[in-house]
Structure 1
């Protein structure tokens, strides 16, 4: 994956005007790394003896967790930002803009998965609401399978 700029046709227009100052403040404080679900999963994987890189920038998509020896890229996706089919609700205010924005996020996720797969990595995605023990079991099982 290259760091080419997004073509103008794919860029969104500037962010819409927030409904009010409280909404603007809340959205500007949204974390994009080290979220509670990520930290909980990292602690559990570490407790199980797995070692990994955090926000590994040397591969496409900067995965939340990268098990480099097994080449597993783990993404803990937020329900809103990645359009969870169970929990995502498009805001009523500026609905068209948000729908386009979130659709583009999902498309970008597929593009980075394709790029990772082409590089020999296995991208895996989990939702922020997924059970941590179940997710850790799946990752550990995949890690053991790949490491022999």
Structure 2
């Protein structure tokens, strides 16, 4: 008889497991696949394989169905110097992929196949989890920036990226139209203190609060300095509708071309 057993696990003696027990959702992006592994492991820092030279490799769990035995097996996979390594972890019989991933990570941890990644000596982060957030907030070519640039390109606009609108002013804009003097910034919610999404850090709160305040002050002074130099400055938060933002940029660029600004 197929279906859940009395203990809550799947009994597959007479049939194959459901696809939802091992298959990822179709079309799942790399970022979402990574987030899925993070949730199952209990955090990104808990997906670490300690290599022989003291480095860490980020691992993931792969679930595979073996039709001949009607069993799902979990394997731990990671990359070391361009080579993919793999170790068998366990068989799983949960009803969902999430349950099977969580079980496999638990088994891998119990067998000391993975460890918690430790902070490097030079790190200023208060924890590995904070360091992961800091690392995820890249300084350039962020996903929102790429989305905005793609939307602008589809609208027929050509621009430069990551340059100083005013060479003598040490301020870099994300998208720049030099001849028309239009500078566009996509501000990340974390580093720039978004009023809707920024949450003060629980640890070292005073230091982080000062850092975010400094960033806000720098943003404001940059906007003032560029406008005084004759530039049109547009700022968007990363959470905004970037298609709509691109349309706003297009309107400003067209106005500048026509001489109405």
Q: Deviations over 1:60-105 (max 9, x none)?
A: 4210000112211000000111111111111111111111110010
Shift of 1:58: 4.8
* 1:90 equivalent in alignment to 2:200: yes
TM-score by length of 2: 0.48
Task: Point out the structure with the larger strand share.
Answer: 2
Q: Does 1:63 align with 2:173?
A: yes
Give me the TM-score of the superposition, normalised by structure 1.
Answer: 0.83
Contact 1:16 1:97 in 2 (8 A): no
Q: Which has the higher relative contact order, 1 or 2, with Cα contacts under 8 A spaced 6 or more apart?
A: 1
Out of 180, 191, 197, the residue aligned to residue 81 of structure 1 is: 191
- Using the alignment, how far apart are the partners of 1:93 and 1:16 within structure 2? 15
Is residue 51 from structure 1 mapped to residue 161 from structure 2 by the alignment? no
Render the CA deviation track for 1:91-140: whole Å, top value 9, x for unaligned: 11111111111001000011111111121111110000110111011100
Higher Rg of the two aligned structures? 2
Question: What does 1:115-130 align with in structure 2 at a 5 Å threshold?
Answer: 115-130=225-240
Aligned partner of 2:127 in structure 1 is: 20
d(CA) in 1 for partners of 2:155, 2:125: 43
The verdict on how the C-alpha distance between 1:89 and 1:42 changes in structure 2, with shifts beyond 3 A counting, is: same
Q: Secondary structure at the match of 1:55?
A: strand
Matched residue count: 134
Q: Residues 54 and 97 of structure 1: is their aligned pair in 2 closer, same or farther, counting only changes over 3 Å? A: same
Change (3 A) 1:121 1:58: closer
Q: CA RMSD in A?
A: 1.9
Q: CA distance change for structure 1 residues 87 and 29 in 2, over 3 Å: closer, same or farther?
A: closer
Q: Which runs of 5+ in 2 are unaligned?
A: 1-121
- The aligned counterpart of 1:147 is 257
Q: Which residue of 2 aligns with 1:41?
A: 148
Structure 1 residue runs of 5 or longer lacking an equivalent are 1-14
